[in-house]
Amino acid sequence: MRTFCRLNAYGLFEVRVSGDGNCQFRALSDQLYRSPEYHKHVRKEIVKQLKACNSLYEGHVPMKYKHYCKKMKKSGEWGDHVTLQAAADKFAAKICLLTSFRDTCFVEIVPQYQAPQRELWLSFWSEIHYNSLYDARDLPSKYKPRKKHWLF
């Protein structure tokens, strides 16, 4: 309920993505390519970033880094704060999270070594699900309600 109220307060429209363990990557895909269907490509690019710049991320994972990267490569593996940072770095994007947390409703993740070239907006529900967000006035056409035309 809290996140729903925040969506309305910010004038945002939520595009729900499948909750199959790939939701973070689906939501990022929807923001980057206007379709959640490129989630495998997004995951692959994020894992490449994790491997290429391991010194940036290695200290933030609770296991052996090689095992973490191998795990993140698998479809259905949940993304986390480390994959979000890697996504921000890889795609030169400021990632804006609207959360369901009581005390922290908004989190920004910015690229570490470059200026952001774009903004990606996601909702984050109770630490278990991500969705894609759009300004309600600037929805992609596939999400806009269709007018009904009556033929008499």
Residue 23 falls in the annotated catalytic set = yes
Residue 53 falls in the annotated catalytic set = no
Residue 20 falls in the annotated catalytic set = yes
Among the listed residues 5, 20, 41, 60, the single catalytic one is 20
Tell me which residue of 106, 147, 139 sits closest to 31, measured CA to CA.
139
For the beta carbon of residue 94, count every other beta carbon within 10 angstroms.
17
Positive or negative torsion for Cα 116, 50, 126, 37 = positive
Cβ neighbours of residue 20 closer than 8 Å, sequence gap 6 or more: 76
For the beta carbon of residue 33, count every other beta carbon within 10 angstroms.
13
CA angle 54–60–62, rounded 5-degree value: 110
Cβ neighbours of residue 54 closer than 8 Å, sequence gap 6 or more: 65, 69
Which amino acid does the sequence have at 14? E
Annotated catalytic sites, by residue? 20, 23, 129
